Amino acid sequence: MSDREEMQPLVNPLPPAVAALALAIFAVEVVLSAGARGYVGGAGGVGWRLETIREFAFFAPVLEAMIETGQWPPEHLARFVTYPFVHYGFVHALMVIVFLLALGKLVGEVFGNFAVLVLFVACGAFGALVFAGLTGDPRPLVGGYPSVYGLIGAYTFLLWTSYGAAGQNQYRAFTLIGLLLGIQLVFGALFGGTYDWVAEIAGFAMGFALTPVLARGGFRRLLARLRQR
């Protein structure tokens, strides 16, 4: 065994951008969960989650009001960026973090930290915009799924191009997104659902479309990794 092989870590570290995003989501959820259980904030902590949703979630009617009045308060524009960090509960946040760590690591190792941040923010914002435009749903849009679906879109593009380079069926790249949408369809039919899936599909589409712009040699690095395996 060579010295180089001995020095290789057993587990590749997470890209810093992915770790930072996951920690931010986790930190917000820890505070809100602790407040809901009365561990911090006293009696007022119980209402922190609702207050946070009111202040930082995305609301389609708020965007409609800004368009009608022609006024764009920064605190409302910020909702496009802040809503992915607010969740309905610990399980909701945990599932987003799991997907973020898995997909963010795959995308970040190929394209870098800046691309991960751009994808997370841009796909979340685009998802909210499409959500408002197509549904007009007055209920709050919260959670990082639209942003994470953007990372799924980026990963799908990587698979699409790699399958094409290998002469394989490129539509296999859409297996993951198809599976996730199928699960959502089943859960929606059984338990009822919201229009959040509109934002998630929009986030996926933006991630898929934005990835070639962010690539800058990323595909060549991907092919090099595949050859090493």
Alpha-carbon span 108 to 36, nearest angstrom: 34
- Report pTM: 0.86
Q: Which residues contact 62 (CB under 8 A, 6 or more apart)?
A: 76, 79
| Parts of the chain with a pLDDT under 70 | 1-12, 185, 187-192, 216-229
The pLDDT of residue 165 is 78
d(CA 208, CA 151): 8
| Contact assessment for residue 31 and residue 48, using Cβ atoms and an 8 Å cutoff | yes
Q: How far apart are CA 154 and CA 72, in angstroms?
A: 31
Q: In the prediction, which pLDDT does 133 show?
A: 96
In 3D space, the residue among 83, 138, 110 whose CA is nearest the CA of residue 216 turns out to be 110
**Residue 210: burial class (beta carbons within 10 Å; 0-12, 13-18, 19+):** buried
Domain ranges of the chain: 14-228
Residue 141 three-state SS? strand
Residue 225: the pLDDT is 56
Residue 32 near residue 90 (C-beta atoms within 8 A): no
Distance CA 200, CA 131 (A): 9
pLDDT of residue 227: 59
pLDDT tens sequence across 132-164: 999 999 999 999 999 999 999 999 998 888 888
DSSP state of 98: H
DSSP 51-88: HHHHHHSB-HHHHHHHHHHT---HHHHTHHHHGGG--S
Other C-beta atoms closer than 10 Å to the C-beta of 52 total: 19
- pLDDT at residue 2 in the model: 47
Strand partners of residue 141? 58
Whole-angstrom distance, CA of residue 157 vs CA of residue 174 = 9
> Which residue, chain included where needed, has tokens 């991907």?
222
Q: Which CATH superfamily is domain 14-228 in?
A: Rhomboid-like (1.20.1540.10)
pLDDT digits (tens, 9 = 90+) for 173-206: 888 888 887 777 676 656 567 899 999 999 999 9
CA distances from 109 to 13, 127, 130, 161 (A): 10, 24, 29, 16
Token representation of residue 170: 């490129």
Other Cβ atoms less than 10 A from the Cβ of 176: the count is 15
